[in-house]
């Protein structure tokens, strides 16, 4: 750079910085710790401390109002994993997560690509698509529950009423069927629930996608806007079709955003509670039940604190399986930089 | 930002920096302090005796009374207010804190109550279902004060039925004051639908199937069942269990858990339930009990089996008793009264104990019960009510309660503890969807393990 000027300036600056350090030496070193200490302490206690506490409770015999921390090993885990309800919870969580992730990502990307083509009234559409995210899952659940109440064949309600009015012959039991698709099939002895997709889960997945695809759209839109036009222009000049530009230029550049979205949506779906609680309450049977609801009812309805804690720990492990590799990857790429 | 100091007057800027940093510290400290406070309030394992300690000065303490319940709906809230009125007359100047928590059948309220009790911050008195919900959850845990003196002083043991007294006592001591009785084994039917098809309300299980067949042929849903609040099908099943077992053997199911596995009548009851459900609406998991009851007064369904709070619902909806709808004991349970009761107890460490005792006296008094029950749509737990304040159905129920064989309800906390209630409910909710008889049997046997206390 402008070597000469820098050479003249640098010693002066260094001296002043040194003076400044001399004048406030302890404060400067002290301040970051003071500022960070309370939140570190709070996190240590209220995050890690309580994780530890839950683990201790999950290994205890505590059932009922009075705490009983007698160690019983993994008995509570054995109880929940062999129960019909928890097995169906795990199946439902996997189904929900897969469909919810794919649905939100695909629809979000689609909306973002459409908006990115500079449509008129873009900000209007952006607001419309983002708006569901501003609504609580509880509201979403209640509203979609009304839509999916099937009614009777004589008197359909909700969406079924709409279908009937439109002259469509369908009568779908929506959220009240307990069927699992494809049903039947291979089911080992230890497994108490049929594997497959519980059909009653689909209304819940639709509501969840409705709520969160605006979020993925916003993320993708920001990413698309961040891709320099020169890159795409260069490709077009080289004779690439629009699809090829998207496939070979745009799409690969969206990968980091996709990963971030997967992490955010993934932990939401693994811990989901409010949406399902309000929309189906986990029913019919346990076709839409998830570990969050099971944990709530076990702990606060049956007062089985030890088993409730065990469910919570399993949920924590599920989320960690998703988050920890991401954190490691982030850490590695950041140190490489 | 740091870079800009290079060419500026360093002294001035560092001072500004200093000010900014001190501000930042202040903000960080105060926000983390409020975070700590917020977390401390919600944190379960750390007891928070602070608010209680602040109230202990005797003079300030006795001018308040905090009553905890889940009575927020019309009817029940009015009944509670009527009890408050009487209390205010007896103790003018005492401020009543009405700590109600809304939510289906008290689920939310119970969770809040547990947190408060564990945190050492009990209300002065709280609503609890008489029976195992009281004994198995609270008394066994040593959280309640026995109130024998009060029963003796007020003479309640003489005016309440023995079956009920047995259910609120543990090792010879009384633990709560029942304010009302509900009956859960009731059949409600649409008068017009029955008249149009020339039918009589079914008395036995066989009657029911005959009636249901005819209604089905006529294109009416014979039986309207809910399921959204997860207690409706378990409720139906306990009525069928009562019909199959009879009151004595039914009650035994909860003191001898092995019967669930060994007694063939359990399979019979499951079979009956399966047949009942084959006459019921398919969309039950989306309906609450009230939605199901609504179909009966609308005439799209003919019958529903529900507790007598359905009566209050019908009346509230403007349906005339005896004209639009009629009632009968649920099929096969004539002469049997499946009861549940709301009661109030005295938690250990109640902050305003004297007022709480006065409150319990109001709850147990004839005056209090006759003010409360007509509004709530239930009958008094006392056998000496003022009959002039009750309407047609409640008088019928008062008479049945005095004559019939009594049996405690599972779903409503009289027969078994909460852990069992949940497991039993789970089994039947799964069955309502899957209709797998083998599975429900095994889940019921599993649930029975929760019964040994």
Identify the weakest region by mean pLDDT among B130-139, B175-184, B333-342.
Answer: B130-139
Kindly list the distances between the CA atom of residue B157 and the CA atoms of B143, B177, B339, in Å, as whole numbers in the listed order. 23, 11, 18
Token readout for B215 is 């209604």
Which chain B residues have a beta carbon less than 8 Å from that of A176? 282-286
Kindly list the distances between the CA atom of residue B250 and the CA atoms of A202, B241, B308, in Å, as whole numbers in the listed order. 40, 7, 21
Is the CB of A304 less than 8 angstroms away from the CB of B426? no
- Dihedral angle at the C-alpha atoms of B145, B148, B153, B158, nearest 10 degrees? 130
B326: closest CA of chain A, how far (Å): 24
In the prediction, which pLDDT does B1 show?
37
What are B343-365's pLDDT values in tens digits?
A: 999 999 999 999 999 999 999 99
In the prediction, which pLDDT does B15 show?
53
Distance CA(B226)–CA(B432), nearest Å, equals 10
Structural domains counted in chain B? 2
| Domain-located, residue B444 | yes
* B323 and B438 share one domain: yes
Is the CB of A283 less than 8 angstroms away from the CB of B142? no
* B258 and B122 share one domain: no
| Residues 6 or more apart whose Cβ sits within 8 Å of residue B325 | B188, B189, B190, B191, B296, B297, B314, B319
Which chain A residues have a beta carbon less than 8 Å from that of B286? 145, 148-150, 175-176
* B239 and B139 share one domain: no
Written in H, E and C, the secondary structure of A174-201 is HHHCCCEEECCCCCCCCCCCCCEEECCH
Backbone φ, ψ for residue B405 (5° rounding): -75, 130
What are A129-182's pLDDT values in tens digits?
A: 999 988 999 999 999 998 988 887 777 888 888 888 888 876 677 777 888 888
* B213 and B197 share one domain: yes
In the prediction, which pLDDT does A12 show?
66
- CATH code, domain carrying B126: 3.40.190.10
What are B45-96's pLDDT values in tens digits?
A: 434 344 444 444 444 447 899 999 988 887 888 999 999 999 999 999 899 9
CB pairs under 8 A between A and B: 132
Strands B221-223 and B301-306 turn out to be parallel
The reply to whether B440 touches chain A by the CB within 8 Å rule is no
CB contacts under 8 A, B 292-311 vs A, are 300
List domains and CATH numbers for chain A: 82-336 (1.10.3720.10)
The reply to whether A135 touches chain B by the CB within 8 Å rule is no
| Domain-located, residue B156 | yes
* B379 and B236 share one domain: no
What are B309-320's pLDDT values in tens digits?
A: 899 889 888 888
Helices in B177-225 by DSSP H: which ranges? 191-196, 205-217
In the prediction, which pLDDT does B151 show?
94
* B154 and B257 share one domain: no
* B162 and B191 share one domain: no
User: Which candidate, A320, A310, A307, A270, places its Cα nearest to that of A292?
Assistant: A270
Backbone φ, ψ for residue B373 (5° rounding): -70, -40
User: Which candidate, A287, A291, A286, places its Cα nearest to that of A272?
Assistant: A291
B169: closest CA of chain A, how far (Å): 19
In the prediction, which pLDDT does A119 show?
80
Axis-axis angle for helices A137-148, A158-165 (nearest 10): 50
The reply to whether A31 touches chain B by the CB within 8 Å rule is yes
- Measure the N-to-C terminal CA separation of chain A; round to a whole number of Å: 23
Are B431 and B147 a contacting pair, CB within 8 Å? no
Q: Which domain holds residue B76?
A: 9-29+45-180+341-398
Distance CA(B325)–CA(B307), nearest Å, equals 15
The reply to whether B39 touches chain A by the CB within 8 Å rule is yes
The reply to whether A116 touches chain B by the CB within 8 Å rule is no
Strands B125-129 and B64-69 turn out to be parallel
In this prediction the pTM is: 0.82
Q: Which of A13, A173, A176 sits opposite B6 (nearest CB)?
A: A13
* B65 and B153 share one domain: yes
The reply to whether B132 touches chain A by the CB within 8 Å rule is no
Which chain B residues have a beta carbon less than 8 Å from that of A13? 6
C-alpha angle with apex A69: B442 to A51, nearest 5 degrees?
Answer: 95
* B293 and B442 share one domain: yes
In the prediction, which pLDDT does B103 show?
67
| Domain-located, residue B38 | no
Judged by phi (left if over 0) then psi (alpha if -120 to 50, else beta), residue A6 lies in alpha
| Domain-located, residue B35 | no
Are A205 and A99 a contacting pair, CB within 8 Å? yes
* B235 and B111 share one domain: no
List the strands of the sheet with B125-129, edge to edge.
Answer: B95-100, B64-69, B125-129, B342-345, B176-178
| Domain-located, residue B234 | yes
Q: Would the pLDDT of B338 be above 90?
A: yes
What are B425-440's pLDDT values in tens digits?
A: 999 999 998 899 999 9
Are A100 and A204 a contacting pair, CB within 8 Å? no
Backbone φ, ψ for residue A155 (5° rounding): -125, 80
Distance CA(A68)–CA(A76), nearest Å, equals 14
A262: closest CA of chain B, how far (Å): 29
What are A189-225's pLDDT values in tens digits?
A: 788 888 889 999 999 999 999 999 999 999 999 999 9
| Domain-located, residue B303 | yes
In the prediction, which pLDDT does B37 show?
42
C-alpha angle with apex B61: B58 to B64, nearest 5 degrees?
Answer: 150
* B146 and B279 share one domain: no
Distance CA(B448)–CA(B256), nearest Å, equals 9
Tell me, what DSSP letter sits at residue B2? G
Within a 13 Å sphere around the CA of B233, how many CA atoms are in the beta-carbon half? 36
Which chain A residues have a beta carbon less than 8 Å from that of B426? 84-85, 286
ipTM higher than 0.95? no
Burial of A242 (0-12, 13-18, 19+ CB in 10 A): exposed
* B270 and B167 share one domain: no
Distance CA(B252)–CA(B249), nearest Å, equals 5
Distance CA(B254)–CA(B135), nearest Å, equals 14
Distance CA(B25)–CA(B32), nearest Å, equals 10
């Amino acid at each position: 750079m402008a070597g000469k000027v820098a050479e003249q300036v640098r010693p002066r600056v260094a001296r002043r910085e040194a003076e400044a350090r001399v004048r406030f030496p302890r404060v400067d070193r002290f301040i970051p710790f003071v500022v960070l200490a309370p939140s570190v302490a709070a996190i240590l206690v209220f995050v890690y401390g309580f994780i530890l506490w839950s683990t201790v409770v999950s290994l205890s015999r505590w059932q009922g109002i009075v705490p009983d921390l007698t160690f019983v090993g993994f008995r509570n885990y054995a109880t929940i994993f062999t129960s019909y309800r928890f097995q169906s919870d795990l199946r439902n969580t996997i189904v929900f997560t897969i469909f919810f992730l794919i649905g939100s990502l695909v629809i979000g990307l689609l909306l973002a690509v459409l908006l990115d083509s500079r449509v008129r009234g873009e900000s209007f559409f952006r607001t419309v698509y983002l708006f569901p995210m501003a609504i609580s899952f509880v509201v979403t659940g209640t509203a979609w529950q009304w839509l999916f109440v099937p009614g009777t064949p004589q008197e359909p309600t909700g969406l079924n009423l709409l279908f009937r009015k439109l002259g469509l012959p369908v009568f779908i039991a929506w959220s009240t069927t307990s069927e699992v698709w494809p049903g039947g099939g291979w089911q080992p002895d230890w497994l108490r629930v049929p594997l497959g997709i519980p059909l009653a889960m689909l209304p819940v997945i639709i509501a969840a996608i409705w709520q969160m695809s605006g979020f993925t759209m916003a993320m993708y839109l920001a990413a698309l806007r961040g891709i320099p036009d020169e890159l795409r222009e260069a490709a077009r000049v080289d004779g690439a079709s629009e699809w090829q530009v998207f496939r070979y230029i745009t799409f690969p550049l969206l990968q980091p955003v996709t990963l971030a979205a997967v992490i955010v949506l993934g932990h939401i779906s693994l811990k989901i509670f409010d949406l399902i609680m309000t929309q189906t309450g986990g029913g019919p049977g346990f076709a839409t039940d998830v570990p969050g609801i099971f944990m709530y009812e076990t702990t606060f309805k049956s007062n089985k604190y030890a088993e409730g804690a065990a469910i919570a720990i399993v949920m924590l492990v599920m989320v960690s399986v998703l988050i920890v590799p991401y954190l490691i990857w982030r850490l590695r790429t950041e140190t490489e930089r | 930002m740091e870079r800009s100091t290079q060419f500026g007057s360093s002294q001035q800027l560092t001072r500004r920096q200093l000010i900014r940093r001190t501000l930042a510290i202040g903000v960080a400290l105060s926000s983390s302090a409020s975070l700590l406070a917020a977390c401390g309030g919600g944190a379960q394992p750390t007891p928070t005796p602070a608010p209680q300690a602040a109230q202990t000065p005797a003079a300030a303490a006795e001018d308040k009374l905090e009553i905890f319940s889940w009575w927020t709906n019309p009817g029940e809230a009015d009944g509670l207010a009527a009890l408050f009125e009487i209390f205010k007359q007896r103790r003018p100047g005492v401020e009543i804190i009405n700590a109600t928590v809304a939510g289906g059948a008290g689920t939310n309220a119970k969770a809040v109550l547990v947190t408060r009790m564990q945190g050492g911050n009990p209300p002065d008195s709280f609503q609890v279902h008489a029976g195992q919900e009281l004994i198995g959850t609270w008394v066994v845990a040593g959280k309640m004060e026995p109130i024998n003196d009060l029963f003796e002083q007020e003479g309640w043991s003489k005016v309440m039925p023995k079956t009920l007294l047995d259910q609120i006592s543990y090792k010879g001591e009384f633990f709560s004051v029942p304010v009302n009785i509900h009956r859960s084994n009731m059949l409600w039917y649409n008068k017009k639908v029955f008249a149009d098809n020339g039918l009589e309300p079914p008395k036995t299980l066989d009657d029911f199937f005959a009636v249901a067949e005819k209604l089905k042929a006529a294109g009416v849903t014979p039986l309207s069942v809910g399921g959204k609040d997860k207690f409706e099908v378990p409720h139906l099943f306990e009525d069928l269990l009562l019909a199959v077992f009879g009151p004595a053997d039914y009650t035994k199911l909860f003191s001898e858990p092995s019967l669930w596995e060994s007694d063939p009548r359990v399979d019979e009851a499951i079979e009956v339930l399966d047949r009942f459900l084959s006459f019921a609406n398919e969309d039950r998991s989306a309906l609450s009990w009230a939605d199901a009851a609504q179909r009966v007064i609308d005439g799209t369904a003919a019958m529903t089996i529900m507790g007598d709070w359905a009566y209050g619902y019908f009346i509230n909806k403007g349906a005339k008793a005896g004209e639009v709808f009629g009632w009968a004991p649920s099929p096969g349970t004539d002469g049997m009264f499946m009861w549940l009761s709301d009661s109030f107890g005295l938690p250990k460490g109640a902050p305003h104990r004297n007022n709480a005792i006065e409150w319990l006296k109001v709850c147990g008094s004839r005056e209090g019960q006759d003010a409360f029950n007509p509004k709530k749509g239930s009958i008094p737990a006392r056998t000496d009510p003022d009959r002039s304040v009750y309407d047609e159905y409640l008088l019928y129920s008062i008479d049945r309660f005095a004559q019939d064989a009594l049996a405690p309800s599972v779903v409503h906390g009289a027969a078994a503890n909460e852990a069992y209630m949940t497991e039993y409910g789970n089994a039947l909710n799964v069955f309502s969807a899957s209709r797998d008889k083998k599975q429900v049997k095994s889940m019921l046997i599993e649930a029975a393990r929760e019964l040994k206390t």
